[in-house]
Structure 1
Amino acid sequence: MALPLAAGLSPLTTPAAAQPEPAATAPAGATVQKAVWFTDRRVALWINSPSMGAPVQVQLLLARDWNTHPDARFPVLFMLDGLRATDDESGWTKEAGAADFFADKNVTVVLPVGGQSSFYSDWLQPNNGHNYKWETFLTKELPPLLESQWRATDVRGMEGLSMGGTAAMFLAARNPNFVKYAASYSGFLTTTTLGMPQAIQFAMRDAGGFDSTAMWGPPTSPEWEGHDPYALADKLKGISLYISSGSGAVGPFDQAAVIPGVSANFTGMGLEILSRLTSQNFVTKLGNLTIPAQVNYRPSGTHTWPYWDFEMRQSWPQAAAALGLDPGKASCQAGGSIAAVATANGWLGDCVTAEYQVNGGVAQDFRSGRVFYSPATGAHPVGGMIGGGYQAALGAVGLPTDDERPLPDGRGRFQAFQNGLLYWTPQTGAQVVRGAILDEWGRQGFERGPAGYPIAPEVKTPSRDGAVQAFENGPFYYSRKTGVHRLQGPIMGKYVELGYENSWLGFPAAEEVPLKDLGRFSGFEGGNIYWSPLSGAWAVRSGPIMDAWRDLGYENGKLGYPISDEFTVPGGFQQNFQAGFIVVRDGKPEVHGL
């Protein structure tokens, strides 16, 4: 496969996000551990939470104008999951169409991932292997980080389904001025009325084996009332409220049982009836307090995702108004070469922005990707994980020069850009390869060569002027003096042990070479690392020991392979070999056989 090779290498780093300089400071310890871009406007963050003492995954659906207005900041909408939240993805993207629906909305959607049976609250004690401190995380730790690194404003809304609907209401009430909008879809909006603590306990045991007493204590504990939307209703004044639930009867998205009007989803039917009853009680209290709310009691429907997807769409105009946004889609139209590409690639969907300047060309955002154009490169679509990889690289690879292509192994895909290539596989994600590292990787056969696929971005070496990029079968190191060379296996292990390029070895200066008895060696600026199955991996420094060993024939001579690193002895230093040792005193090497 002949691929274009990039020009000279300048170290590329992948920051946590495309963002302006921070405008606020997140609490100490609330940091982004890892960011994975799924598309150019959907990213998963693993955030170190000081309160939970563990990384928490949060996915962001970035605002429509994220790319077109790189200095703009956007309101945020938290979308909370249900009782059976999973650790891999929010139900709002897995079971509902949030990603597609919000693609043309100018709000950044925040999707906490995980938190099964948590009610997004701070628990009194750990339980079932989890230290839940969701309220602290969502209201204290996460917002400053979003504002400092992800161009968020302090204008917020919060909506959720089932357990998330309960939490949306009590979090809004417990945290004054935190949100301007709160919505409950099929939430349980009284938690302390007769039988509700027992019902919640049963549901939590069924969904993951959690104990509600670890959450809020026994039913008589004040923590139950302290998290009861009904008891906290008076604290919701001034917040735009939306409450909905079905009736539990068979609806358009339900399968009927043998009994007419009864759903085959008996659990979903019962939960929705409970939601309706508690929501009605809650709404009645809001009325008594003269707190307005938009209420949507559907005449049918059970406790299932299609109805919550419907409510997400139905409630959006109210959410948009509370957040100060136009609820409609921005006016846009594709033209010229971009229109031709969009027509030929139906997966892009409709346009969501007008054309805008980028990287010496123009781009236009569509519901499921982007199209880039310049007279020199032509028009090409970029989407999916490769689109995410492009966003993570902040456009450092220039404009696309070709469409995305499958690779011969049937496993990966790649796309060529002006200054490099983007490769993707399900196992490695999307990674940029460019410059001198790309040249050497290509010389060795690209993904079909010994290195395999890239598994991480190229990064600058921290203390010396160079770069490194990890591949499936070992990293490539680069410096201007030594060029590009790959390390692997036990030799790489020894290099790590000694301190990478910061040790006396410096950067790799030659490719790994086979030796006798299945041995291998790699050359470095300051010496070599040798390995064989019998002797292991050891480094020999350039200097008197190396010179004496060379004069004996290296590993082919009477001493054989090294079996230790160099170490100090009285009056000098020594290194041991299979059949003897070399000691240096007063700069003079002495060879000792066994």
Structure 2
Amino acid sequence: MLLSIAMVLPLAAGLPAEAPSVAQPSAAAALAPPIVQNVVWLTDRRVALWVASPSMGVPIQVQLLLPRDWNTRPDARFPVLYMLDGLRAANDESGWTKDAGAVDFFADKNVTVVLPVGGQSSFYSDWLEPNNGHNYKWETFLTKELPPLLESQWRATDVRGMEGLSMGGTAAMSLAARNPGFVKYAASYSGFLTTLTLGMPQAIQFAMRDAGGFDSAAMWGPPTSREWAEHDPYELADKLNGISLYLSSGSGAPGLYDQASGIPGVSTNYAGMGLEILSRLTSQNFVTKLRDLGVPAQVNYRQSGTHSWPYWDFEMRQSWPQAAGALGVDPGKLACEAGGAIGAVVAANGWLGECVTGEYQVSGGVAQDFKGGRVFFSPSSGAHTVGGAIGAGYQAAMGSAGPLGLPVGGERPLPDGRGTLQDFQNGALYWTPQTGAQVVRGAILQEWGRQGYERGPAGYPIAPEVKTPTKDGAVQAFENGPFYYSEKTGVHHVHGLILGKYAQMGYENSWLGFPLVEEQPLKDLGRFIGFEGGNLYWSPVSGVWAVQNGPVMDAWREAGYENGKLGYPISDQFPIPDGVQQNFQAGFITVRDGKPEVHSI
């Protein structure tokens, strides 16, 4: 609290009068296009992207809450609402989904919500130099690198809004001002809207040190640098004309979501009280500047409330009608109801919540979206819910238009108590917390089932089935090794140390090709798997080695394989003058001019 009070006291002093020129973001992003490295569906309408940022040089996670009509209007494009986090932004998830109710609130809203993850103490700006292990270039990432990806791959339009809390509120105003035409709407909830007021640079430095050990000089240089003024919302106020603005802050007094302390008028959230007083004072100065400039803004000064998430969640909801108007979308809930077979399923599954769409056509049937998931129906498959992590996997697999088809049953727990399963017309989705939701289908599902499904040697699937890159076949990874498939060889499981050798040799791209049989036991606890081009053998004494079809294999077979006088192989085949050789436990085989010779010890 002492820091908070110290930050508040100097604010009555005058503000810098010189208006800065608007700095342009770094052009580093033009050096290479950003790419999406990974996509993980979290639910059927919440997805995490890892975007390789050329300017920052690392993958940046961005989560999207997809719009209400994402499924009902597959050809439609939607406006975007950026939601920026606070000073202690975490690296795993945005505070808007972790500490506030953004997921539920936006479930029936027709915008794509963009949630950058990370950026602790960054003020979402381009820093002058790397610091504390980070090369922050957030302004470039958010305004130059990310928008083309959203528009080309995630059906976004160039109509954008931006709102944020605390540090994110400061950034929402500065980014809107520094990037003319980028947003039509900007909102600050408890933001600090002057950065150069007497004492503010020192307070920001202290706060950044406390939140992650960052140095504000690496961000904008010393307080005398023009970079400070060029990121100060107060100094940039004239650049905000024409943007729909929403500004709010509490008073610092205990409010509905605060716990009173023993001191009258003081909550137990001492730091939050001081920080909200600071936000109120800076916001008031900023609003005065806007009014002097004739720049309109909607201002909501609450009579109470500290610097904490319940109030920012409230402001997210309170400001939505204005955001919706600026972005050109309907602010209210779409009128809908569930009836017929779908209605009966909804009545039995309260977790689905309210409908957000009416029924709409999908491949093979109809569907309806709810806050908690979806219901699919066809006369042949019946009506079944799909939601949660299984719903995410189904969406990632293109839903009913993908390889699975429609659901034919509900999600159910598996006997091991670890995973769940849902059956579809052409396969199944399996889920565990460790492996995520994975599709298993066709010949691989049949063989996996023959071996005992998740209770068998392979365990659960950990990745989708994919085509093998250079040969006509497929592979799917499981916890204890993959299944390989080709039309010629069928489906076979490869695992353990034999899998390690197979990988070392190049999998099916090597002369081994695809597996022909399951792993077989041999003497002395040994094992082998036969492949198109030869076999892999393992024993505890000899290790894992490959024997290629041809003269060496023929000679070893005639000598009795591992049961004969040579025993197990102890090397791969290697060249010798005028031929090749392979060593075994009790001898070796050479081949010259196509003729093998067995040499036993």
Under a length normalisation based on structure 2, what TM-score does the superposition of the two structures give? Answer: 0.93
Q: Which residue of 1 aligns with 2:526?
A: 519
SS at match of 1:157: strand
Equivalent residue runs for 1:81-96 within 5 Å: 81-96=85-100
Using the TM superposition, give the Cα deviation of residue 184 of structure 1 relative to its aligned residue in structure 2, in angstroms.
0.5
Please say which of residues 577-586 and 352-361 is displaced more in the overlay.
577-586
Q: Which residue of 1 aligns with 2:475?
A: 468
Q: Which residue of 2 aligns with 1:587?
A: 594
Q: Which residue of 2 aligns with 1:432?
A: 439
CA distance in 2, matches of 1:237, 1:564: 76
- Higher-RCO chain (CA-CA 8 Å, sequence separation at least 6): 1
Please say which of residues 340-349 and 550-559 is displaced more in the overlay.
550-559
CA distance in 2, matches of 1:136, 1:536: 53
Q: Which residue of 2 aligns with 1:296?
A: 300
CA distance in 1, matches of 2:308, 2:205: 20
- Of 372, 383, 403, 1:368 maps to 372
CA distance in 1, matches of 2:444, 2:566: 37
Using the TM superposition, give the Cα deviation of residue 538 of structure 1 relative to its aligned residue in structure 2, in angstroms.
1.4
CA distance in 1, matches of 2:111, 2:305: 29
CA distance in 2, matches of 1:38, 1:580: 57
Q: Which residue of 2 aligns with 1:384?
A: 388
Q: Is 1:494–2:498 an aligned residue pair?
A: no
- Of 270, 286, 289, 2:290 maps to 286
Equivalent residue runs for 1:228-307 within 5 Å: 228-307=232-311
Q: Provide the aligned length of Structure 1 versus Structure 2.
A: 570
CA distance in 2, matches of 1:553, 1:334: 71
CA distance in 1, matches of 2:255, 2:119: 29
CA distance in 1, matches of 2:194, 2:185: 19
Using the TM superposition, give the Cα deviation of residue 518 of structure 1 relative to its aligned residue in structure 2, in angstroms.
2.0
CA distance in 1, matches of 2:30, 2:415: 46
CA distance in 2, matches of 1:168, 1:71: 30
CA distance in 1, matches of 2:33, 2:452: 43
Equivalent residue runs for 1:41-120 within 5 Å: 41-120=45-124
Q: Which residue of 2 aligns with 1:483?
A: 490
Using the TM superposition, give the Cα deviation of residue 354 of structure 1 relative to its aligned residue in structure 2, in angstroms.
0.8
- Of 150, 171, 181, 1:146 maps to 150
CA distance in 2, matches of 1:518, 1:271: 68
Counterpart AA for 1:584 = V
CA distance in 1, matches of 2:283, 2:141: 27
Q: Which residue of 2 aligns with 1:197?
A: 201
SS at match of 1:540: strand
Q: Which residue of 1 aligns with 2:25?
A: none
| Structure 1: gaps (5+ residues) | 1-24
Q: Which residue of 1 aligns with 2:462?
A: 455
1:552-591 CA distance string (max 9 Å, x none): 1111222222222222222122222222221211111112
Using the TM superposition, give the Cα deviation of residue 460 of structure 1 relative to its aligned residue in structure 2, in angstroms.
1.0
CA distance in 1, matches of 2:500, 2:353: 48
Q: Is 1:359–2:325 an aligned residue pair?
A: no
Counterpart AA for 1:126 = P
Against the structure 1 CA distance between its residues 41 and 221, is the aligned structure 2 distance closer, same or farther, given a 3 Å change threshold?
A: same
Using the TM superposition, give the Cα deviation of residue 517 of structure 1 relative to its aligned residue in structure 2, in angstroms.
2.1
Q: Which residue of 1 aligns with 2:409?
A: 402
Kindly indicate whether the alpha-carbon contact (under 8 Å) linking 1:159 and 1:184 is maintained by their aligned counterparts in 2: yes
Under a length normalisation based on structure 1, what TM-score does the superposition of the two structures give? Answer: 0.94
- What is the root-mean-square deviation of aligned Cα atoms in Å? 1.3
Using the TM superposition, give the Cα deviation of residue 28 of structure 1 relative to its aligned residue in structure 2, in angstroms.
3.7
Using the TM superposition, give the Cα deviation of residue 533 of structure 1 relative to its aligned residue in structure 2, in angstroms.
2.1
SS at match of 1:66: coil
1:477-497 CA distance string (max 9 Å, x none): 111011111111111111111
Using the TM superposition, give the Cα deviation of residue 343 of structure 1 relative to its aligned residue in structure 2, in angstroms.
1.1
SS at match of 1:119: coil
Q: Is 1:541–2:545 an aligned residue pair?
A: no
Using the TM superposition, give the Cα deviation of residue 26 of structure 1 relative to its aligned residue in structure 2, in angstroms.
10
SS at match of 1:380: strand
Using the TM superposition, give the Cα deviation of residue 476 of structure 1 relative to its aligned residue in structure 2, in angstroms.
0.6
CA distance in 1, matches of 2:492, 2:512: 14
Counterpart AA for 2:594 = G
1:475-524 CA distance string (max 9 Å, x none): 11111011111111111111111111111111111111122222211111
- Of 333, 347, 354, 2:351 maps to 347
Q: Which residue of 2 aligns with 1:207?
A: 211
